[in-house]
C-alpha cells in the first residue's frame, strides 16, 4: 500500500507498507529507488532504473514438506506477550556513534560497524531494563543472505532473502557491551555460504527454525532487531529533492499477536542511526532513563533538528 499526503506548508510525505512475504529490505529499497528514478525525468539526476527479476525460486526452490507453522512469524510469535507496550524514538548522531566505535575498538572489537555498536548499546540497556526478570535472553538480528550465496543474488531479484542470526545470553551471564557485540557478531558470521547452501537445499531450514522455537519453549526472553540501514533511501529523489526524514515503524505482522522487545534501526541524514524501541511500558520507563544510553542517544528529537543542511539546494 502507498499513501501520499500533502500539507498546507507545502511538505509531502510518501508512506509505503510492504509484506515481508514478498519483499525484504533490499527489494523494498530497490522498488522505491527505481520508482523515484522513473518519476524524476530531470537530465542531471543520477538515479538508476533497475528492472525487477522474479526468479527468486531458482535460488531458493520451494520446499513442499515445509509446514506453515514453522515459518518465522509463528515461531517468533512464541516470544510475544500481552500487556501495555510503549514506543520511543532514539536518535544516535554521527559523533555519538564515533564515540561508541572508539569504545568498542578499545575493548578489542575490530572494525565495529554503526549497526553493531548501536545494537550492542540498545541490547545492554534493554537487558538492564529487564533486570528484575533474570531470564535468559535470545538476541536476534536480520542477515541479508543475498551477499552470502555463491554466486551472490542480485538486488534486482524480488523476494525475501533474510534470515535471523540468534545469540543466546544465559540468565547467569553478566556480559558487558563488547561481549554482547561479540556474541551478535559470532551469530551473524555463522550464516555463511555453506549454511545458505544447506538452506537452499532444504536441509537446515527446519532445524534452524526449531532451534529458535526451542529457545522460546525454554523460557527465553527475546530482544529483536530490525535494520533498514545502508539502503540508500536518503538518495531517493522523486523530483522534489532528497527526503528530509526517512523512518520505519514495526509492521502489523509483528504486533498483532502481542509484543516483545524490538528495536528497528534506520539511517539518519548525517550518517547516524535512528532506533524505534518497542517494549513493555514499565521496562520502557526504565530504558528511557538509562543515563549511559542517554549519553549517546536523544529521545524523540524533532526531525527538523536531525540535520542543519537544506535538502533542497
Distance of alpha carbon 71 from alpha carbon 69, whole angstroms:
6
List of residues 6+ apart from 234 with CB closer than 8 A: 242, 243, 246, 267, 269
Could you tell me which of 257, 20, 289 has the C-alpha nearest to residue 162?
Answer: 20
Catalytic residues: 20, 237
Amino acid at each position: 500500500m502507498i499513501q501520499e499526503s500533502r500539507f498546507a506548508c507545502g511538505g509531502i510525505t510518501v508512506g509505503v507498507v510492504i509484506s515481508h512475504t514478498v519483499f525484504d529490505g533490499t527489494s523494498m529499497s530497490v522498488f522505491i529507488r527505481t520508482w523515484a528514478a522513473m518519476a524524476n525525468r530531470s537530465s542531471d539526476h543520477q538515479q538508476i532504473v533497475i528492472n525487477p527479476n522474479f526468479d527468486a525460486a531458482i535460488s531458493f526452490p520451494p520446499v513442499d514438506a515445509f509446514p506453515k507453522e514453522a515459518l518465522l512469524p509463528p515461531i517468533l510469535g512464541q516470544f510475544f506477550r500481552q500487556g501495555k507496550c510503549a514506543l520511543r524514538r532514539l536518535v544516535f548522531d554521527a559523533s555519538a556513534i564515533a564515540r561508541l566505535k572508539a569504545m568498542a575498538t578499545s575493548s578489542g572489537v575490530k572494525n565495529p560497524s554503526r549497526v553493531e555498536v548501536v545494537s550492542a548499546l540498545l541490547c545492554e540497556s534493554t537487558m538492564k531494563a529487564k533486570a528484575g526478570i533474570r531470564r535468559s535472553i535470545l538476541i536476534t538480528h536480520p542477515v541479508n543472505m543475498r551477499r552470502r550465496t555463491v554466486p551472490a543474488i542480485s538486488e534486482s531479484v524480488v523476494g525475501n532473502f533474510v534470515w535471523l542470526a540468534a545469540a543466546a545470553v544465559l540468565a547467569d551471564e553478566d556480559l558487558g557491551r563488547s561481549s554482547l557485540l561479540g556474541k551478535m557478531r559470532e551469530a551473524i558470521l555463522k550464516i555463511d555460504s555453506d549454511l545458505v547452501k544447506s538452506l537452499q537445499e532444504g536441509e537446515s531450514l527446519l532445524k534452524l527454525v526449531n532451534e529458535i522455537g526451542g529457545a522460546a519453549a525454554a523460557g527465553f526472553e527475546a530482544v529483536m532487531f530490525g535494520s533498514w540501514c545502508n539502503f540508500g533511501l536518503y538518495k531517493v529523489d522523486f523530483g522534489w529533492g532528497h527526503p528530509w526524514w526517512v523512518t520505519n515503524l514495526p509492521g502489523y505482522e509483528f504486533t498483532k499477536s502481542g509484543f516483545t522487545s524490538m528495536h528497528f534501526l534506520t539511517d539518519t541524514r548525517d550518517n547516524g542511526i535512528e532506533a524505534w524501541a518497542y517494549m513493555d511500558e514499565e521496562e520502557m520507563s526504565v530504558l528511557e532513563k538509562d543515563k549511559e544510553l542517554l549519553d549517546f542517544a536523544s529521545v524523540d528529537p524533532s526531525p527538523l533538528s536531525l540535520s542543519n543542511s537544506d535538502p533542497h539546494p
